[in-house]
Amino acid sequence: MDGFRYISYAQEVIFTPGALAQLREAVERSGWQRLMLCTNHSMQVQGYVDTVKSALGGRLVAVFDHVQPHVQDVQVDGALALALENQMDAVIGMGGGSPIGMAKAVAYAMDTTMPMRPSIPVIAIPTTYAGSEMTAVYGITRSREKPPRKVTVNDPKIAPRLILYDPELTLDLPPQMTASTGVNALAHCIEALYSITRHPASTAAAIRGVGHISNALLRCYRDGKDLEARTEMLIGAHLAGWSLASVKMGLHHGLCHVLGGTANVPHGIANSIILPHAIRFNADATAPQLLPAAEAMRISLNGTHPWVAMETLVQKISELVGEMQLPQRLRDAGVKVSDLPDLAQLGFQNRTVQNNPKPITESAQIEALLRAAW
Q: Could you list the residues that contact ligand NAD (CB under 6 A)? A: 40, 42, 69-71, 95-99, 101, 127-128, 130-132, 135, 137-139, 169-170, 172-174, 177, 181, 184, 244, 260, 267-268
Cα–Cα distance for residue pair 243/364, rounded to 1 Å = 30
- The DSSP secondary structure of 307-345, one letter per residue, reads HHHHHHHHHHHHHHHHHTT---SGGGGT--GGGHHHHHH
Q: In this chain, which residue has its C-beta nearest to ligand NAD?
A: 97
Nearer to ligand NAD, 103 or 299 (CB): 103
Q: Cβ of residue 55: shortest distance to ligand NAD, in angstroms? A: 17
Q: Cβ of residue 287: shortest distance to ligand NAD, in angstroms? A: 25
Cα–Cα distance for residue pair 277/369, rounded to 1 Å = 7
For residue 276, say if its preceding peptide bond is cis, omega within 30 degrees of 0: no
Nearer to ligand NAD, 170 or 195 (CB): 170
Nearer to ligand NAD, 172 or 295 (CB): 172
Q: Cβ of residue 239: shortest distance to ligand NAD, in angstroms? A: 14
Q: Cβ of residue 311: shortest distance to ligand NAD, in angstroms? A: 27
Question: What's at 205, amino acid-wise?
Answer: A
Query: Phi/psi at 304 (nearest 5 deg)?
Result: -65, 145
Q: Are 250 and 191 in contact (CB under 8 A)?
A: yes
Nearer to ligand NAD, 169 or 309 (CB): 169
Q: Provide CB contacts within 8 A for 290, sequence distance 6+.
A: 190, 193, 194, 279, 283, 309, 310, 313
Q: Cβ of residue 61: shortest distance to ligand NAD, in angstroms? A: 23
Cα–Cα distance for residue pair 193/291, rounded to 1 Å = 9
Helix spans in 5-158 (H): 23-30, 41-45, 48-56, 73-85, 97-113
Q: Cβ of residue 238: shortest distance to ligand NAD, in angstroms? A: 12
Nearer to ligand NAD, 267 or 277 (CB): 267
Nearer to ligand NAD, 236 or 260 (CB): 260
Cα–Cα distance for residue pair 326/339, rounded to 1 Å = 22
Cα–Cα distance for residue pair 129/123, rounded to 1 Å = 16
Nearer to ligand NAD, 80 or 256 (CB): 256
Q: Cβ of residue 279: shortest distance to ligand NAD, in angstroms? A: 18
Q: Cβ of residue 23: shortest distance to ligand NAD, in angstroms? A: 16
Q: Cβ of residue 22: shortest distance to ligand NAD, in angstroms? A: 18
Q: At what angle do helices 267-296 and 306-323 cross, to 10 degrees?
A: 130
Q: Cβ of residue 269: shortest distance to ligand NAD, in angstroms? A: 9
- Tell me if residue 155 falls in helix, strand or coil: coil
3-state helix, strand, coil in the chain (%, to 5): 60, 10, 30
- The single-letter DSSP state of residue 120 is P
Nearer to ligand NAD, 83 or 258 (CB): 258
Question: What's at 73, amino acid-wise?
Answer: D
Nearer to ligand NAD, 97 or 347 (CB): 97
Reported as type and span, the H/E element at residue 63 is strand 60-64
Nearer to ligand NAD, 101 or 357 (CB): 101
